[in-house]
């Protein structure tokens, strides 16, 4: 990509591709991936004042993150997995802790209660929309981070510092992966930069181009210091951009999206005709007559006429032919749609997508009829399996980003750092009310149901020791 005379982004010309290894050429079991390779042909420098090369997302497929978002919007299972994961990573919501275990897969943390003043300070930070360029709070930022993480495998949060009239201002903003590209490491200063602009997704020369070094590096331009927090779910063999773990089922996601589209068209249009009528004619059809026949077949046997509301669908096809037997023919057609086939294909798509997501359908709120474990036990077992592989790593990633944003805010505004961010499980969702309430006091159960505590400390005993009616 380079800059044209009017300053817009221009697609680069292809250079000579790297020669394959002789071992790859001679290997009889060579596997050709259906996914594009990482880009080896770089966009040229197209921003005045910078001498770096921007790396497109994939070779010949720089719109791949946009494609991933569109698939997640249209695949029911994929979309449900993203929303379910976001909900369960959040759990009971943001909590403030004094210390956290630094182990990536830690099940436990050193949880020290903050003082009321410290708790209030962090709560105000979370709710403050004035420090967000998006005019949103930390809860919204967290949601966007998780959605992009589970959809594209990439996260970018931009930090900005400015001074106006002697006052210090700190801002953060979320930027979707489809608008973000990374650069090669700059040989002159050792920094890797992030370039943010909608021009990577759609042609808009008026859109802003933001350049920032990757955190923890900072760089000032036009009175604004910038740094970009970036996280990539880097799969084996990738170097510049992450991918979601579910990329292994991308074709099943596409199949699921297309399958429901096909079923809708079939239901709405009933496009298969019942009769094919052939009438004898002494002379063979001319090319124009054959073309007319093809259009008739196209209209009757396909769904293309649906694009024009003024075109009626045919219930039969008619043509005249030179028949050696001198007999007219009427061929009756029957429906060929095999419902069982599409039902099985739908199940297989769902199974493969859930497998690639490391997720279980019970976490989506879906349960098999007559499941031997029962809904609550089935969900609890599924949660245990997903906890260490999906939930804890996502929480570590998210809380790590929030910690950086909070500490940079405190350092720049000369505010004392109070604590860190974490997320607790929603045990009521996982185990069910009965299992959770057995380990809660009567007053805690009453609070969940909007009731006041019992007088004289009567509600301080476990609810499992008291008849439910007394609660």
Gyration radius of the chain's alpha carbons: 30
Taking CA atoms, 113 is separated from 1, 95, 116, 121, 405, in Å, by 52, 10, 9, 14, 21
In this prediction, residue 108 carries a pLDDT of 42
100 near 109, Cβ under 8 Å?
yes
What is the number of helices (H) and of strands (E) in the chain? Answer: 13, 15
Tokens 């897969």, residue? 105
* Number of neighbouring beta carbons within 10 Å of residue 189: 11
Rounded-to-integer distance, Cα 29 and Cα 201, Å:
37
Rounded-to-integer distance, Cα 159 and Cα 173, Å:
7
In this prediction, residue 467 carries a pLDDT of 56
What does each of the 471 residues of the chain score in pLDDT, given as a tens digit? 444 444 444 444 444 434 444 444 444 455 566 677 776 666 655 566 677 788 888 876 688 899 999 999 999 999 999 999 999 999 888 888 886 554 443 444 455 667 888 889 999 999 999 999 999 999 999 999 999 999 999 999 999 999 888 788 899 999 999 999 998 887 677 889 999 988 888 766 667 889 999 999 999 988 999 999 999 999 988 889 999 999 999 999 999 988 877 777 666 555 555 566 666 666 777 778 777 776 776 666 655 544 444 445 555 555 566 665 656 666 665 555 566 777 888 899 999 999 999 999 989 888 665 554 456 677 888 888 899 899 999 999 999 999 999 999 999 988 888 888 988 887 766 666 665 556 567 777 777 777 888 888 777 777 666 655 555
156 near 227, Cβ under 8 Å?
no
Rounded-to-integer distance, Cα 207 and Cα 51, Å:
21
Please state whether beta strands 193-196 and 180-183 pair in parallel, antiparallel, or not at all (unpaired): antiparallel
Look at residues 141, 208, 147, 166 and name the one whose alpha carbon lies nearest to residue 401. 141
Rounded-to-integer distance, Cα 271 and Cα 282, Å:
32
* Number of neighbouring beta carbons within 10 Å of residue 178: 24
Distance of alpha carbon 11 from its chain centroid, rounded?
Answer: 27
- Give 136-140 contacts, CB < 8 A, sequence gap 24+: 138/94, 138/402, 138/405, 139/93, 139/94
In this prediction, residue 393 carries a pLDDT of 94
> What backbone phi and psi angles, to 5 degrees, belong to 229?
-80, 120
Tokens 């990633």, residue? 397
Strand partners, 213: 193
In this prediction, residue 104 carries a pLDDT of 42
Look at residues 345, 261, 257, 200 and name the one whose alpha carbon lies nearest to residue 70. 257
Q: What region does 237 belong to: left with phi over 0, alpha with psi -120 to 50, or beta?
A: left
198 three-state secondary structure: helix
In this prediction, residue 199 carries a pLDDT of 82
Look at residues 188, 193, 164 and name the one whose alpha carbon lies nearest to residue 55. 193
Q: Counting Cβ atoms within 10 Å, is residue 182 exposed (0-12), middle (13-18) or buried (19+)? A: buried
257 near 71, Cβ under 8 Å?
yes
* Number of neighbouring beta carbons within 10 Å of residue 217: 15
Rounded-to-integer distance, Cα 368 and Cα 362, Å:
8
């Amino acid at each position: 990509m380079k800059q044209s005379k009017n300053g817009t982004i221009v697609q680069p010309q292809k250079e000579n591709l790297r020669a394959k290894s002789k071992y790859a050429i001679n290997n009889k079991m060579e596997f050709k991936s259906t996914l594009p390779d990482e880009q080896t042909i770089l966009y040229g420098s197209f921003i005045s004042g910078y001498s770096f090369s921007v790396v497109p997302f994939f070779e010949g497929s720089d719109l791949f993150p946009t494609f991933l978002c569109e698939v997640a919007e249209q695949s029911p299972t994929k979309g449900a997995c993203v929303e379910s994961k976001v909900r369960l990573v959040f759990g009971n919501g943001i909590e403030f802790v004094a210390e956290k275990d630094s182990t990536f897969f830690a099940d436990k943390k050193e949880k020290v209660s903050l003082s009321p003043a410290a708790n209030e300070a962090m709560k105000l930070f979370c709710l403050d929309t004035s420090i967000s360029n998006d005019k949103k709070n930390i809860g919204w930022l967290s949601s966007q981070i998780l959605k992009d993480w589970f959809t594209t495998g990439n996260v970018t949060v931009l930090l900005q510092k400015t001074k106006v009239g002697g006052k210090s201002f700190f801002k953060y903003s979320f930027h979707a992966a489809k608008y973000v590209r990374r650069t090669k490491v700059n040989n002159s200063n050792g920094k890797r930069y992030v370039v943010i602009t909608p021009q990577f997704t759609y042609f808009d020369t008026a859109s802003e181009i933001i350049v920032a070094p990757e955190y923890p590096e900072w760089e000032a331009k036009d009175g604004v210091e910038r740094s970009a927090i970036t996280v990539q779910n880097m799969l084996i063999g990738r170097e510049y951009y992450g991918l979601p773990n579910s990329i292994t089922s991308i074709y099943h996601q596409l199949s699921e999206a297309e399958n429901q589209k096909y079923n809708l068209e079939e239901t709405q249009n009933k496009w298969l005709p019942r009769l094919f009528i052939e009438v004898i004619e002494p002379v063979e059809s001319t090319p124009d007559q054959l073309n007319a026949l093809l259009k008739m077949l196209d209209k009757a046997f396909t769904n293309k006429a649906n694009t024009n509301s003024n075109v009626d669908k045919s219930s039969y096809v008619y043509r005249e032919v030179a028949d050696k037997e001198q007999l007219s023919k009427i061929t009756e057609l029957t429906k060929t749609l095999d419902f069982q086939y599409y039902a099985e294909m739908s199940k297989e798509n769902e199974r493969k997508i859930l497998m690639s997501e490391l997720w279980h359908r019970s976490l989506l709120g879906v349960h098999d009829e007559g499941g031997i474990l029962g809904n609550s036990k089935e969900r609890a077992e599924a949660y245990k399996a997903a906890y260490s592989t999906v939930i804890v790593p996502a929480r570590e990633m998210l809380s790590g980003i929030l910690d950086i944003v909070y500490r940079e805010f405190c350092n720049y505004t000369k505010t004392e750092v109070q604590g860190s961010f974490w997320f607790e499980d929603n045990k009521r969702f996982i185990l069910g009310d009965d299992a959770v309430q057995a380990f809660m006091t009567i007053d805690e159960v009453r609070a969940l149901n909007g009731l006041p505590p019992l007088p004289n400390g009567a509600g301080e005993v476990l609810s499992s020791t008291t008849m439910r009616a007394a609660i």
